[in-house]
Structure 1
Amino acid sequence: MKNKARLILVGGFLGAGKTTLLSETTRKLMAEGKKVGLITNDQAAELVDTAFLLKTTSNVAEVSGSCFCCNFNGFVDSVRDVEERSNADILIAEPVGSCTDLSATIVQPIKKLYSEKMLLSPLSVLADPFKLEDILNGGTAGLHTSAAYIYKKQLEESEVIVITKTDKIDSIRLDFLKEKIGTIFPHTKVMSVSSRTGEGISDWLNYVLNNSSLNNKTIEVDYNTYAEGEAVLGWLNASANLKGEEIDWDEFAGKFLAKVGYKIESMKLSVGHIKIMIQNGSDYLIGNITNDAGSVETRGSAGISDKAQIIINARVGLSPDTLENLVRETLNNTASSKIEIKVNAWNCISPGYPNPTFRYN
């Protein structure tokens, strides 16, 4: 008889580094002979995270159109699908980055309804060290106050706070940050990881694989503030085919992100994240802007060719129409007359009022 599959929920605000950690974690577990399934989540299809994780494993399901909590049955169906399709031992689920109240809407329903079928690990919430530091100091980390409210609520309900991107922060500052978290959230375990160097990943994995969620508490959430915190960001998901002659796609990606970053910085806009993925056959590049709008990060290479595909995800403090115009104009400007753009999908929305399937008190 097959043992219960273990489900690991990995939350955290937009730009915290969830997808990168999931990718590195999956590689590590698969190298140890484990069968891993991944479930991604977003308000619309055409998700960079899903395309990126499919480069690591084919055992990926996407719940799009709403968050896990507002489509709990769809979430459970995806968990079952991935588990059955891949006979997975371990399932890792990444909720929408602007989602909170996970304990009441996901953790408690799973424990109540599915405890005989799956083991639920402690709820991990990932946090970018720089945004986290500002939030703990009473700031908003450059976010709208309602979005910062969501960030704080994610920390409050977590069982494990995982400080990410530790390769970008010095050890003294990191230790001080851990100490401060321990003071504010004394009953929450604090850990740290760097997906770039691999430091801390084994420790975090060991903890979540060998402990079960004991979280029976739910937090108070003002759903009007929560809804506003999501709605202040325009959400854009788009994909297109690109065609030119001997185009250096890495150079193209760098120019596109730099131009988007410059516009956002000059307009002093809050950024959840901006992600792109350019695929050229089996070669691909991932690029993102998360913290400082002027700071662009890329990894991988899409090489040089005549054709490629691009996926764009943007979460920016603009109305959907304004965000759509900004991204379209920048994409067309970067392509100029050298690259033909054929849009496959283009969705720009503002999330609706959160309406969870279950909410346990």
Structure 2
Amino acid sequence: MIKQVKSKNMKTTRLILVGGFLGAGKTTLLWEATRRITERGKRTGLITNDQTSELVDTALLLRKDVKVAEVSGSCFCCNFNGLIDALKNVRDEANADVIVAEPVGSCTDLSATILQPLKQNLRGELTVSPLSVLADPIRLNDILNGGTAGLHPSAAYIFRKQLEESDLILIGKSDLVSPEELILLKEKVKLHFPDSEVMVVSSLSGEGIDEWLNEVLTRTDAGKRLVEVDYDVYAEGEAVLGWLNTSIELSGRETDWDTFARELMQNLSRQFDSIKASVGHVKMLIESGENYLIGNLTGRNETLSFRSSAGISSEARLTLNARVEVSPEALEEIVLKTLDTIKGTQLRKKIVALRCLSPGRPNPTFRVEQVVPIF
């Protein structure tokens, strides 16, 4: 049974769901969207989602002075009541007019398992915006050309299904390709997915974000279609990735944490490249007091990027999330051995939390078999 959100005299809240494959840049876009929505005079909140806790995304967003709830342990669709609880929590504590939610990056079939149940059961309590799916332009172009974007074929299947069920396809990271390439890519996306609208956005430059927000803050045509999903292929696409989430306290000598972080991520990237292990994403947050640095890897070594600075000190907290096409056991061994090599003997490490797994078969709480109309 669905847990009801609404209490007496509670206002209607808008939900903006932003999907997209691992490494698409969803968290950065969500924060920028939240900031701009707040500037428009609306109270906002965020919901993150992962197969386990210790999320870089949640830790980072909590630094942004915005209400964040986390649904961990399974995806939104397999823990629908967890999503409802998170919605209630954010709405009650932040008095949110708008909630932006980010499902697990390897999830698809969101229209049937999330949007339709919300429309069906929470009408009048929740206004659901069109489903937006964010895509990295490099991976997107390869997928449309018949490739796998360096992913396992079953993971590439998930990527394509995410696009197929979308109401709005957002081509992100537009700074990675030339304007001419972007025009061609946009036309190619329209040819492959004629039922979805296509927009270009960049969290770095701000391109297209206000135009996208104008759409999702006013429209109610969410989940306009359902797609056929082969759950055997879907399950394999998730299971081929080892998932690791860890938080580690580091202490000892005075350390330049920016240099430390770069060496750690570059070393990890080289190791994954050397064994030809496809990377969904590796995210790292290193925090030292009020300072922090973010590292991102979304493929081979050339995709590695960093922003901000953690400064120099004798203590820091490292949060690392990795989704890589190796066994969980191999992933854990690579990460911990690499960390020990980089930190040397003059830094101590204390593992606060560590979870490494391979996701189980998706088992949605609900799966609606037809599109629920909007009244």
TM-score, with structure 1 as normaliser? 0.98
Please say if residues 257 and 287 of structure 1, whose CA atoms lie closer than 8 Å, have aligned partners that are also in contact.
yes
Q: Distance in 1 between matches of 2:222 and 2:92?
A: 26
Q: Which residue identity lines up with residue 117 of structure 2 in the other structure?
A: P
Q: Which residue identity lines up with residue 256 of structure 1 in the other structure?
A: L
| Structure 1 residue 215 displacement after superposition | 2.7
Q: Deviation digits for residues 240-298 of structure 1, max 9, x if unmatched?
A: 10102221000000000000011011111111000000011111111010032343201
| Structure 1 residue 137 displacement after superposition | 0.5
Equivalent residue in structure 2 for 1:206, among 214, 220, 233 = 214
Equivalent residue in structure 1 for 2:350, among 337, 342, 345 = 342
Q: Does 1:96 align with 2:115?
A: no
Q: Distance in 1 between matches of 2:188 and 2:289?
A: 46
Q: Distance in 1 between matches of 2:284 and 2:77?
A: 26
Q: Distance in 2 between matches of 1:214 and 1:5?
A: 14
Structure 2: which 5+ runs fail to align? 1-8, 370-375
Q: Distance in 2 between matches of 1:153 and 1:237?
A: 26
Q: Which residue identity lines up with residue 173 of structure 1 in the other structure?
A: E
Change (3 A) 1:182 1:294: closer
| Structure 1 residue 115 displacement after superposition | 1.4
Q: Which residue identity lines up with residue 22 of structure 1 in the other structure?
A: L
Please say if residues 27 and 56 of structure 1, whose CA atoms lie closer than 8 Å, have aligned partners that are also in contact.
no
Please say if residues 265 and 294 of structure 1, whose CA atoms lie closer than 8 Å, have aligned partners that are also in contact.
no
Equivalent residue in structure 1 for 2:325, among 310, 313, 317 = 317
Please say if residues 258 and 294 of structure 1, whose CA atoms lie closer than 8 Å, have aligned partners that are also in contact.
no
SS in structure 2 of the partner of residue 275 of structure 1 = strand
SS in structure 1 of the partner of residue 293 of structure 2 = strand
Q: Which residue identity lines up with residue 207 of structure 1 in the other structure?
A: E
Q: 3-12 or 98-107: which moved more?
A: 3-12
What is the aligned-residue RMSD (CA, Å)? 1.0
Q: Distance in 1 between matches of 2:106 and 2:222?
A: 24
Equivalent residue in structure 2 for 1:188, among 192, 196, 221 = 196
| Structure 1 residue 2 displacement after superposition | 5.6
Q: Does 1:275 align with 2:283?
A: yes
SS in structure 1 of the partner of residue 301 of structure 2 = coil
Q: Deviation digits for residues 198-243 of structure 1, max 9, x if unmatched?
A: 1111111111111112434211101010000000000000001010
Aligned to 2:83: 75
Structure 1: which 5+ runs fail to align? none
Q: Distance in 2 between matches of 1:306 and 1:2?
A: 48
SS in structure 2 of the partner of residue 213 of structure 1 = coil
- Percent of aligned positions that are identical: 56
Q: Distance in 2 between matches of 1:51 and 1:214?
A: 29
Aligned to 1:47: 55
Q: Does 1:291 align with 2:299?
A: yes
Q: How many equivalent pairs are there?
A: 361
| Structure 1 residue 31 displacement after superposition | 2.8
Equivalent residue in structure 2 for 1:258, among 232, 250, 266 = 266
Q: 287-296 or 331-340: which moved more?
A: 287-296
Q: Deviation digits for residues 71-119 of structure 1, max 9, x if unmatched?
A: 0011011011100111000000100000000000001000000111011
Q: Distance in 1 between matches of 2:300 and 2:230?
A: 29
Aligned to 1:329: 337
Q: Which residue identity lines up with residue 213 of structure 2 in the other structure?
A: L
Q: Does 1:248 align with 2:282?
A: no
Q: Distance in 1 between matches of 2:224 and 2:37?
A: 29
Q: Distance in 2 between matches of 1:200 and 1:52?
A: 24
Equivalent residue in structure 1 for 2:116, among 95, 108, 112 = 108
Q: 193-202 or 148-157: which moved more?
A: 193-202
Please say if residues 25 and 172 of structure 2, whose CA atoms lie closer than 8 Å, have aligned partners that are also in contact.
yes
Equivalent residue in structure 2 for 1:16, among 10, 24, 36 = 24
Q: Which residue identity lines up with residue 269 of structure 1 in the other structure?
A: A
Q: Which residue identity lines up with residue 322 of structure 1 in the other structure?
A: A
Q: Distance in 1 between matches of 2:299 and 2:171?
A: 15
Please say if residues 262 and 294 of structure 1, whose CA atoms lie closer than 8 Å, have aligned partners that are also in contact.
no
Please say if residues 108 and 216 of structure 1, whose CA atoms lie closer than 8 Å, have aligned partners that are also in contact.
no
Q: Which residue identity lines up with residue 174 of structure 2 in the other structure?
A: T
SS in structure 1 of the partner of residue 303 of structure 2 = coil
Equivalent residue in structure 2 for 1:168, among 161, 167, 176 = 176
Aligned to 1:359: 367
Q: Distance in 2 between matches of 1:46 and 1:3?
A: 32
Please say if residues 167 and 224 of structure 2, whose CA atoms lie closer than 8 Å, have aligned partners that are also in contact.
no
Q: Distance in 1 between matches of 2:172 and 2:346?
A: 39
Q: Distance in 2 between matches of 1:231 and 1:281?
A: 37
TM-score, with structure 2 as normaliser? 0.95
Q: Which residue identity lines up with residue 141 of structure 1 in the other structure?
A: A
